[in-house]
Amino acid sequence: MFAARIDQIQPFKVMEVLDRAAEFEAAGATVVHFEVGEPDFPTAAPIVAAGMEALSAGHTKYTSATGIAPLKEAIVGHYQRLGLDVPASRIVITSGASAGLTLLAGLLLDPGDELLITDPGYPCNEVFARLAGGIPRAIPLGPNQGFQPAVEDVAQAWGPATKGVLLASPANPTGTMLDGEAIAAIAAYARGRDGFFILDEIYQGLSRRDLAAAKDYASGLSFADDLFILNSFSKYFGMTGWRLGWLVVPEPAVEGVTKLAQNLFIAPNAPAQYAALAAFSPAALEIHEERAAVFAARCRRLSDGLQQLGFHVPVTPDGAFYLYVDVSHTGMSGADFCSRLLEEFQVAVTPGDDFGRHQHERYVRFAYTTSEAAIDLGLERVDEALSAWGLG
């Protein structure tokens, strides 16, 4: 009775980890959470206040399918601050990057079309492709490439049925970024094949590359104007539960995306859109920047701590809030390591299995979306675990 795609979709392992962690907590244990890909901070106060005002002012009805004009203008201003000129007409507000991915899959893929994605990569990407009848095709990547493809890797993977490529910068689960030259070269290659290039910039703002010295890292749009950009208020702006994001699409795609948005979603969340206007206020931006600095400090603390315990951290992340760690020296697979760490020491970490099939058993993902005190407690427990397992 169910569609064949349902059997092709893997459950999200991190959800199983979360459920098991919740069971420990219900039994009174303290769990250290390194599994959650969500900022631990509450939404910044100016945004919450704007959201409450929006509700009182009656902004509780459908809006235009592609979002309210003032929010598009605020996003235009956001790109202007990064030195980029993006017209409001190319911006489509969505219910999170997830709805953005749904729209792009519907816009760009016919049944049987291949979408190139990365392995490791964000696990849901392939599901969006399958929903449109597309076929995800993974580009296997390793640490010597910074887990990001060069144009040669894209060209090698591009087959007769390939329609386009979806990459992220900074990426989940590795936090690494594509270089500007690679973005330009991949965009030129895709253009030459009459294909598309979707760039997921959901961790924009949480990049730790020096924007002042290299403005070009602010967005892939600096390197190619015909990219399909995915972005979101979830991560840097700390609004995961509000379900709000945006796309920047090339002008010829606007009409098609608009039709899909009208039919699939009617409108993005109205109060969230009004709340998000405050996300770009100086007061909120100051809070977001402080939090980005906190993530950077936590990254160093966790990375240093794990390396002192003998772990190999194959790439230093350029951004986001993840550390992709090689656990192969323990003699355990990532899945066994995570399972034992949670069951025996109540430290929750996500196994590499969630992010692909290429050397996934070597890796686990630590998310530093938890306090420095919790990071220290987690490191202590990992140390105890290694001793208990005869590996210390």
Task: Looking at residues 234 to 293 of the shown chain, list those that interact with ligand PLP (rule: CB under 6 A).
Answer: 234, 240, 245
| Residue from the set 168, 278, 348, 382 that interacts with ligand PLP by CB under 6 A | 168
Confirm if 246 and 92 have CB atoms less than 8 A apart.
yes
Helices (H), the chain: 5-8, 13-26, 45-56, 69-81, 96-108, 125-131, 151-157, 180-192, 254-264, 270-277, 282-308, 334-345, 372-388
Q: Which is nearer to ligand PLP, 190 or 320 (CB)?
A: 320
Considering only the stretches 5-13, 96-104, 214-222, 303-311, report the one whose residues sit in contact with ligand PLP under the rule CB under 6 A.
96-104
98 is a contact residue toward ligand PLP (CB under 6 A): yes
Q: How many CA atoms within 13 Å lie on the side-chain side of 116?
A: 27
Q: CA–CA separation, 30 vs 22, rounded Å?
A: 10
| Residue from the set 172, 176, 219, 222 that interacts with ligand PLP by CB under 6 A | 172
| Residue from the set 202, 249, 284, 287 that interacts with ligand PLP by CB under 6 A | 202
Residue 109 structure tokens: 């893929």
Q: CA–CA separation, 11 vs 212, rounded Å?
A: 41
200 is a contact residue toward ligand PLP (CB under 6 A): yes
Considering only the stretches 91-99, 280-288, 299-307, 384-392, report the one whose residues sit in contact with ligand PLP under the rule CB under 6 A.
91-99
314 is a contact residue toward ligand PLP (CB under 6 A): no
Residues contacting 239, CB < 8 A, separation 6+: 43, 47, 233, 272, 275, 276, 279
Considering only the stretches 60-68, 84-92, 94-102, 272-280, report the one whose residues sit in contact with ligand PLP under the rule CB under 6 A.
94-102
Q: CA–CA separation, 69 vs 267, rounded Å?
A: 13
12 is a contact residue toward ligand PLP (CB under 6 A): no
CB of 102 to ligand PLP, least distance (A): 10
Sign of CA dihedral 42, 38, 72, 222: positive
Residue 361 structure tokens: 């058993």
Rg (alpha carbons) of the chain, rounded to whole number:
21
Confirm if 327 and 364 have CB atoms less than 8 A apart.
yes
Q: Which is nearer to ligand PLP, 68 or 97 (CB)?
A: 97
The residue whose two tokens read 């303290």 is 30
Sign of CA dihedral 147, 204, 255, 125: positive
Q: CA–CA separation, 257 vs 40, rounded Å?
A: 33
Q: Which is nearer to ligand PLP, 43 or 234 (CB)?
A: 234
Give the x-and-dash track for 32-71 against ligand PLP (CB under 6 A).
-----x----------------------------------
CB of 230 to ligand PLP, least distance (A): 7
CB of 1 to ligand PLP, least distance (A): 29
Nearest residue to ligand PLP on Cβ basis: 96
By CB under 6 A, how many residues form the interface with ligand PLP? 13
Residues lying near ligand PLP in the complex (CB under 6 A) are found at 37, 96-98, 122, 168, 172, 200, 202, 232, 234, 240, 245
